[in-house]
Amino acid sequence: MQKVTLNNGVEIPAIGFGTYRSTDRDGHKVILDAIRAGYRLIDTAMNYGTEPDVGRALAECGVPREEFFVTTKISRNHLGYENCKRMFDASLERLGTDYVDLYLIHWPRPSYGRPDWDDWARLDRETWCAMEELYEQGAIRALGVSNFFPEHLDNLLLTAEVLPTVNQLELHPGYMQPDVVAYSRELGIAPEAYSPIGRARLLGHPTLVSIAEAHGVSVARLCLAYLLGKQIIVLPKSTHYERMVENLDPSGVELAEEEVAAIDAMPMAGYSGEHPNRQTVPVQTSWEV
């Protein structure tokens, strides 16, 4: 499987399995299916409620722990030095492991409307300090962030001694956040895409349908090939084994320059409405009925 080398020398698979809302039914069986399909990067978070399912699947699958790359995240509402230490230990217990491969700050700010909403800068720096200590102890192989804009990264770097390796972002055709991606890369931080298919909102998009049909592939496979072509780590998810297998191998989709340009030029589409600096709002794209 193709891998990406992070700025601290740790290698991460280029395609991983996202567990958000993927275990609402059948729990750890979905993750076992993903492992059987060949996924070795498993992405979870304390907020997803999937850490116990991931831990159970890792224990039962028969594959050595060291072959996996496990990512989890600290909740936006548990930021701070002491909270981070406690939440990390709780995640390890739920995962049934003594280390994680990648630990992320899930969002740079607490939830909108909380009293500590405006205290995010201090909370992020304190959280990162705790993460650095865990990293130095060997409990975390790589540190990263999620949903961080340039101002959030700049704040973190005021006191950080360890550079984030990954910035996990909502990235897909119709919402590529080019400024955030470019700034992350300028710092040496690898972009990683969650919702790479726009949470299925893109499956009927006419531009993507036309290009996918020309290549004889699904829109999902096209989206993944497009992102991988831009050297972005992707985290597709599915509860169907056949789609898991398909998502893990988007090879063979060679996009022409004009096709890439057409996707690049798409207006906003498939965006979740989630934003680190304001309240989440629903977004509807013009092509949706």
Nearest to 4 by CA among 209, 169, 192: 192
| Cα–Cα distance measured from residue 170 to residue 156, given in angstroms and rounded to the nearest whole number | 20
b/e string for 206-228 if b means 16 or more Cβ within 10 A? ebbeebbeebebbbbbbbbbbbb
Active site residue 48: yes
Given 20, 48, 226, 271, which residue is catalytic? 48
User: How many angstroms from the chain centroid is the CA of residue 256?
Assistant: 27
- Cβ-defined contacts of 62-68 (< 8 Å, 24+): 63/35, 65/97, 67/40, 68/40, 68/41, 68/42, 68/101
Do residues 108 and 152 touch, judged by C-beta distance below 8 A?
yes
Residues linked to residue 162 through DSSP beta bridges, in sequence order: none
Q: Classify strands 3-5 and 11-13 as parallel, antiparallel or unpaired.
A: antiparallel
Query: Would you name the residues annotated as active-site residues?
Result: 48
